[in-house]
Structure 1
Amino acid sequence: MKQILLIGIGAGDPEQITVQAINALNRARVFFLLDKGYADDDLLRLRTDICQRYIRNDEYRLVQVRDPQREDDPQGYARGIEHWHEQRAVLFERLIADELQEGEVGAFLVWGDPALYDSTIRILDQVLESGREVFEYQVIPGITSVQALVARHRIPLNRIGEPIRITTGRRLADMARDEPENVVVMLDAHCTFERFVDQGLDIYWGAYLGTPDEMVLSGRLDESLCAQIKRLRHEARSRKGWIMDTYLLRKPL
């Protein structure tokens, strides 16, 4: 039977790869790399570098394909995501059918961890549900940007007796201004933290965590720090064509 490995490769630092992930890399023979279409795609380059660094044989091959572009759907956000996943499921099914022989092991290298803020597990389940391809898959966890963020700022993610919420910028925008107490926000394209300026919150922000382009800032979320983060974020996105950032909003003790 065909096998698929979903290998978490960390937030950007190749040294964040676990021993389990290295062993999984050496089991696979076909690696599916999704090209986002950026002129300078560091995400694609990192995956290639990880293979070269950790795989101990030259019997593997890389299959690079263009990732379907996610577009806004007039029927709403959820329908747009659903349509994107449908396109990806068609692509994944074709890759598994055409590029993987019976008994071979293929792999997707997933940024961070396959179980947090990633759709690959859902899409593989969707492919299996179609019944046209039969395979087994295994998930190998990785270091997430959330872990990298708090490690870089030297703070614990949890505080004694307090919950921690992990959410999106879209959901943060729906919160009352006095609601965030301990909130991690993933990939907030609209800098929603600006709504909470001068509410007595601290922010711990990081972008491109673990990479040579890493940027981190922290402090009381006031107009000055908010403007500084927005400026850095805009300049970086303009320069690279993409940005991956994460931040923690927290009421100080």
Structure 2
Amino acid sequence: MTLDGRTRFITVIGIGSGDPDQLTLAAVKAMRETDVFLVLDKGRQKSSLVRLRRDMLDAHVTGPYRVVEAEDPWRDRSQDGSTGYREAVHDWRRRRADVCEQLIRDELAPGERGAFLVWGDPSLYDSTLAVLEDITARGNLAVDYRVVPGISSVSALAARHRIGLNRVGRPVHITPGRRLSDTLAALGNDDGDVVVMLDAQESFQHLSGEGTWIYWGAYIGTPDEILVSGPLSEVADEIRRVRAEARATHGWIMDTYLLRPRPHDDGPANPGQIVI
């Protein structure tokens, strides 16, 4: 991007799932070129997420910069139906765009470079790109932006469990937890592996688990990381227990898991493990 003295420039930087060492060289370079870091604060319970971002800045940015925060709009999470859920998300994103537009207008001068630090990879279940699309479509501000990819929680999960996401000649499917049952029904008994994200309902507990392995992780890449893997029928209760304890301790939880059917001709699975 070339500064033109009129346009406000934004870089959306993927910062991985929590470990400062997961930052790519491209991410560090983009951070060092940034004048103002824009942060949406999710409240006291998730203040550690802001602290992790500041730790990354302290570790990697040597020049002067500012960090400005705004309160992230409340989101209605009570909607169960697919239509109500989509409407709630779109409403939240519109209000988020209102906040971000004002933040960019008030805190970023024309010609300056701003940045959003996005957990994992900005392309996977994150709203920042949609919010910026909304802002640019409104036409109230001259805004240009680029994206620096990051290590997603999906990649980090596979690395921490020492597994590949795919098996020979088979696909990998990624779904939010609320769509897990529909996804499995559409796939049939064994048409690849399924990565599940955003599963507040612990949808895995409703599966029979017969012959299926689960590779689960929470707070991946942070000092609070928890990993559990093994036959679903044997470790589902353990995952529910440690998940509840972790949520009670921290006030929030971010977890991801892979479900892998185990056909007889597929060879041995990695040994189950519990790491807390």
Whether TM exceeds 0.5 here: the answer is yes
Q: 1:200 aligns with which of 198, 205, 211?
A: 211
CA separation in 2, counterparts of 1:126 and 1:142? 22
Q: Write the deviation string for residues 81-137 of structure 1: whole angstroms up to 9, x where unpaired.
A: 010001001011101111110100000000001111101001100000000011110
TM-score with structure 2 setting the length: 0.88
Tell me which residue corresponds to 1:158.
166
Q: Write the deviation string for residues 213-253 of structure 1: whole angstroms up to 9, x where unpaired.
A: 0000101111x411100011011111111000000001122
The answer on 1:80 being equivalent to 2:88 is yes
1:52 counterpart SS class? helix
Matching of residues 1-253 of structure 1 within 5 Å: 1-39=7-45, 41-57=47-63, 59-72=64-77, 76-174=84-182, 175-176=184-185, 178=189, 181-222=192-233, 224-252=234-262, 253=266
Q: Write the deviation string for residues 22-59 of structure 1: whole angstroms up to 9, x where unpaired.
A: 000011110011111133522111111111111111x2
2:167 counterpart SS class? coil
CA separation in 1, counterparts of 2:238 and 2:68? 40
CA separation in 2, counterparts of 1:83 and 1:73? 14
Give me the identity figure in percent: 49
Cα deviation, residue 140, structure 1? 0.3
- What are structure 2's unaligned runs of at least 5 residues? 1-6, 267-276
CA separation in 2, counterparts of 1:42 and 1:179? 39
Q: Write the deviation string for residues 132-155 of structure 1: whole angstroms up to 9, x where unpaired.
A: 011110100000000000000101
Cα deviation, residue 194, structure 1? 1.0
CA separation in 2, counterparts of 1:234 and 1:180? 31
CA separation in 2, counterparts of 1:135 and 1:201? 47
Q: Write the deviation string for residues 160-182 of structure 1: whole angstroms up to 9, x where unpaired.
A: 11000011101103233846740
Amino acid across the alignment from 1:151? A
CA separation in 2, counterparts of 1:173 and 1:131? 41
Instruction: Give the conservation status (yes or no) of the 8 Å contact 2:170–2:191.
Output: no
Amino acid across the alignment from 2:250? K
Instruction: Give the conservation status (yes or no) of the 8 Å contact 2:46–2:252.
Output: no
Cα deviation, residue 69, structure 1? 1.4
Amino acid across the alignment from 1:98? D
TM-score with structure 1 setting the length: 0.95
2:94 counterpart SS class? helix
Instruction: Give the conservation status (yes or no) of the 8 Å contact 1:180–1:249.
Output: no
